[in-house]
Amino acid sequence: MELDEAIEKRRSIRGYTKDPVPKELIKELMEAARKAPSATNRQSWRFLIVQDDDMKNRLQEGITQHFVANAPLIIVCCLDRHAFTRQLIEKRVEELIDANVMSREVANMLYQRKLPQKVEETGIPVSAYLDLGIAVEHIVLKATSLGLGSCWVRMFDQERVSEILSLPLEITPVVLLPVGYPAENPSMRPRISMEEIILGFI
C-alpha cells in the first residue's frame, strides 16, 4: 500500500476480530518503529508485545476502555530513561560522527551540557515524547498498510499498568496500542478545515 493510501485509510479502530496477528507482521511493525527518526538518534522507545489473554485481562484493571484488552495484541509503547544518560547519549553521538552526520564541534557542544550520569538522575525530555510519537505513528501507518487496525490509547493508569507488567522503574509506558484485524469500518472522523490549521504564508 502506498503512503498516501495508508494515510487516507487509517482510522482509530476500536473493534477487532479474534484472528491473531501473525508473528511476521508484528516484526514488520517493530521494524517500522525502529526506522523512525529521533533527537540525537537516541531511540529511547521500547515496546512490550502483550498477547497473553491472562495478562490482557489483568491489564483491564489499569485501562479505562475495554476495547483495548479485547484486541489480539497490545503494544505497550514505552520510554527507556537509560537512553538519556551521558554514557548512552555519547554512544549515539559518536555513531553519528562516524556516519558523517554530526561534526565533532557540535558533539563537543552537546557534551558540555550537564548530562545525567546515572539513570536515577534522568527525567524524560519533551523531545523524547516526540520521538516516541513518531515511532508509534510509523507502527500505526504500517499496520494500516498490512490490513491491520490500531488505536492510540493514552487514557490509562500508568502506575497500575507498570505494576501489572512488572516494568522496571526506568521504563515508562506512554502509549498503549491495541492492534488487530478490524471488525469495523468507520468513515473519516471530523477534521477542522485547512483554513483553520494554516496560520498563514509568509
Ligand X SMILES: Cc1cc2nc3c(=O)[nH]c(=O)nc-3n(C[C@H](O)[C@H](O)[C@H](O)COP(=O)(O)O)c2cc1C
Q: Which positions touch ligand X (CB under 6 A)? A: 11-12, 65, 151-155, 189
Min separation Cβ 173 and ligand X, Å = 13
Min separation Cβ 152 and ligand X, Å = 4
3 state DSSP class of 195: helix
Give 13 or 26: the residue with its C-beta nearer to ligand X.
13
3 state DSSP class of 165: helix
Give 88 or 175: the residue with its C-beta nearer to ligand X.
175
Query: Which residue's CB atom is positioned nearest to ligand X?
Result: 155
Give 21 or 151: the residue with its C-beta nearer to ligand X.
151
Give the type of residue at 164.
I
3 state DSSP class of 75: strand
Contact indicator for 160, 72 with CB cutoff of 8 Å:
no
Residue 191 CB burial class (10 angstroms; 0-12, 13-18, ≥19): exposed
Tell me how far apart the terminal alpha carbons of the chain are, to the nearest angstrom. 35
Min separation Cβ 84 and ligand X, Å = 21
Give 74 or 93: the residue with its C-beta nearer to ligand X.
74
Give 63 or 89: the residue with its C-beta nearer to ligand X.
63
3 state DSSP class of 49: strand
Min separation Cβ 64 and ligand X, Å = 7
C-alpha cell of residue 47: 515496546
Min separation Cβ 191 and ligand X, Å = 8
